[in-house]
């Protein structure tokens, strides 16, 4: 019984949940978030973007690392809620 349980655990994938505090988001793509230590995360797919030679592929565009500040905004404290008449403070 122990051997089958161990074999079952080896054949399955293991996942680790990591919580990262995000500060910025892209203006055109709000589901791409940036942490304080400059990691870019796609919040739809829950994946961290890989840095290529000089930049990142975000959406269908290639954005250079030095030009990212033009496309980034700080995440707003309040956001519009479609199910309510007012905004929600985060």
Greatest alpha-carbon pair distance for the chain in Å reads 59
pLDDT at 70: 93
Encode the chain (90 residues) as per-residue pLDDT tens digits. 233 333 444 455 666 677 888 899 999 998 999 988 888 988 888 888 888 888 888 888 899 989 999 999 998 877 666 776 666 555
Residue 37: inside a domain? yes
Residue 36: inside a domain? yes
Distance CA 73, CA 78 (A): 14
Residue 64: inside a domain? yes
Residue 41: inside a domain? yes
Residue 6: inside a domain? no
Residue 26: inside a domain? yes
pLDDT at 88: 58
pLDDT at 25: 92
Q: Could you tell me the two tokens for 74? A: 């700080």
Residue 22: inside a domain? yes
How many structural domains are present in the chain? Answer: 1
Question: What residues make up the domain containing 70?
Answer: 15-89
pLDDT at 72: 93
Distance CA 32, CA 9 (A): 33
């Amino acid at each position: 019984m122990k051997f089958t349980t161990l074999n079952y655990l080896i054949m399955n994938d293991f996942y680790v949940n990591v919580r990262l505090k995000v500060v910025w988001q892209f203006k055109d793509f709000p589901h791409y978030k940036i942490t304080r230590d400059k990691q870019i995360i796609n919040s739809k797919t829950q994946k961290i973007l890989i840095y290529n030679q000089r930049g990142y592929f975000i959406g269908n565009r290639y954005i250079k690392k030095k030009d990212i500040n033009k496309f980034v905004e700080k995440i707003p404290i309040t956001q519009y809620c479609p199910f309510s008449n007012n905004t929600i403070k985060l």
